[in-house]
Amino acid sequence: MVARLVVAAPASGHGKTSVATGLLAAFAARGLTVSPHKIGPDYIDPGYHALAAGRPGRTLDPWLVGEERIVGLFRHGAATPVPADLAVVEGVMGLHDGAAGRGEFSSTAHVARLLDAPVLLVVDCTAMGRSAAAIVAGLAGFDPRVRVGGVVLNRVGSDRHEMILREALAEIGIPVLGALRRHDELATPSRHLGLVPVAERAAEAVRTVRALGEVVAEAVDLDAVLALARSAPELSEPAWSPSEAVRYAPPVGVNFPEPGPDHPHKQGTRPVVAVAGGAAFTFSYAETAELLTAAGAEVVTVDPLHDETLPPGTAGLVIGGGFPEVYAEQLSSNAALRRAVSQLAASGAPVAAECAGLLYLARELDGRPMCGVLDVEATMTRRLTLGYREATAVGGSALLPAGAVVRGHEFHRTTTSPGAGVGSAAAWRWSGPDGRERTEGFVTGNVHASYLHLHWAGNPQIAVSFVAAARAAALSGTRP
């Protein structure tokens, strides 16, 4: 049985991330093996979770992967690399806030029901007394299928304030499992797309996470929280498996040559797939590398801020999201790697780029030269583009066949302006919030670049197709 609980709140900004991270750090300090999870498409919060837990933060998003995979992915994360004593799942937005226009779907409550997990509510009690109990009662009663098992009061002003809050909550029969005072010095810095990623804060982030663990351990009844987590019933669904996912992935519709019987790749050599990492490219789901490995690739990390060459033998490149606009000067100054990426793409090797990856492949970003794989100019703007998308592949690519339907999300404050000689087909077609159909992204040769973020666990055929294309590139001998 996986002991588990979901950390939720009435809305964003109540302190879910601080409490969830603090719980992970506090229980880890007690010697428990803890497994971190995050509801929604977020990449940044799982970085703080991972720092506290010492293992990857896993994302659970029904929109991206399908609700039928949530329990399996949860169990996979809770068992990898070793079985956890406790899983802490941080929610998204308010407890009952789901995908726009789709009711509860992809809400914290939705995932809590799928996991059959009790909910620990975090409530910001600033300038609030008895009304906190009314809010908790409303959230707890809104959907009787969701079990609110306790409350953590956050930003409590004084002993008297705490007494008023506890008395009010005692009236509705929901236990208070902790009360945190205001600790503004523990706030994590934010910028245009949310919290600053862990990879950019290094030692400072380590200190913050450690301090959160200490504060939570002092202010929260950890024994009661653990008892609540252990009240979750057994889950009958088996753990998700990357190898099984690629084994049963549907046909990709893109044919690449198989190696002959005497070729090294037929004898077990894996094509090398480089995955961008480092401070500029922190947005990646752990399952991406797992699926690539299961599909037959040797996955190696490359840091475009510091590495001047691609890993030896690179036959494919995956560049996820992040903040290249923050590091545009450093990325541009690494001309050697920019040339290597451009040569790899020109050789026909597959390149998959999402959001930040798209910007890196552009001709320039905010006036600074990038890789020039795409004849595109990218610029930072004030406008935030955000939302779930259901997209159809316009044409066949190294990722998916034409007509394939995927679910992803957009999250950026940049825009791209194709040049006159862009020479690329669109990657996706979808209907925007206004109902108008639009195309997005670029496909040229075996390069697929788009603003759309995908979770490959929801589309394991992408890994199968991508590795097949990388193997074909390795066989061709035309790589740089």
Query: Token pair 């610029």 is at which residue?
Result: 379
Same domain, 225 and 311: no
Domains of the chain: total: 2
The CATH number assigned to the domain holding 221 equals: 3.40.50.300
Same domain, 26 and 166: yes
Q: Which domain holds residue 423?
A: 242-476
Measured distance CA(162)–CA(185) in Å, rounded? 21
Q: Is 237 among the domain residues?
A: no
Do 23 and 419 contact (CB within 8 A), yes or no? no
Q: Is 206 among the domain residues?
A: yes
Measured distance CA(441)–CA(438) in Å, rounded? 10
Q: Is 397 among the domain residues?
A: yes
pLDDT by 10s per residue, the chain, length 480:
899 999 999 999 999 999 999 999 999 999 999 999 999 998 888 888 998 999 999 999 999 999 999 999 999 999 999 999 999 999 999 999 988 777 789 999 999 999 999 999 999 999 999 999 999 999 999 999 999 999 999 999 999 999 999 999 999 999 999 999 987 655 554 433 345 565 555 667 788 889 899 999 999 999 999 999 999 999 999 999 999 999 988 655 544 445 444 444 444 579 999 999 999 998 899 999 999 999 999 999 999 999 999 999 999 999 999 877 788 999 999 999 999 999 999 999 999 999 999 999 999 999 999 999 999 998 888 887 778 999 999 999 999 999 999 999 998 788 888 754 556 789 999 987 777 888 999 999 999 999 999 999 999 999 999 999 999 999 876 555
Domain boundary among 178, 199, 230: 230
Same domain, 217 and 255: no
Dihedrals phi, psi of 382, to nearest 5 degrees = -85, -15
pLDDT score, position 268? 52
Please tell me whether residue 39 adopts helix, strand or coil conformation: strand
Query: Token pair 């040797």 is at which residue?
Result: 298
* 237 contacts: CB under 8 Å, gap ≥ 6: 71, 72, 75
Same domain, 161 and 310: no
* 249 contacts: CB under 8 Å, gap ≥ 6: 460, 461, 463, 464
Same domain, 220 and 344: no
The CA distances from residue 20 to 2, 28, 51, 208, in Å, are 17, 12, 12, 13
The CATH number assigned to the domain holding 337 equals: 3.40.50.880
Same domain, 257 and 183: no
* 281 contacts: CB under 8 Å, gap ≥ 6: 303, 304, 319, 320, 321, 322, 324, 356, 357, 360
Please report, as a single letter, which amino acid is at residue 107: S
Strands 272-276 and 194-195: unpaired
Same domain, 212 and 290: no
Do 334 and 360 contact (CB within 8 A), yes or no? no
Same domain, 205 and 248: no
Please tell me whether residue 393 adopts helix, strand or coil conformation: strand
Catalytic residues: 355
Q: Is 297 among the domain residues?
A: yes
- Show the beta-strand stretches assigned E in 54-159: 58-60, 86-90, 119-124, 148-156
Same domain, 336 and 436: yes
Q: Is 349 among the domain residues?
A: yes
Query: Token pair 């992204």 is at which residue?
Result: 441
Cα 316 versus chain centre, distance: 22
Tokens of 202: 């290094």
The CA distances from residue 464 to 83, 121, 301, in Å, are 28, 40, 19
Q: Is 235 among the domain residues?
A: no
pTM of the model: 0.91
Same domain, 222 and 353: no
Same domain, 143 and 35: yes
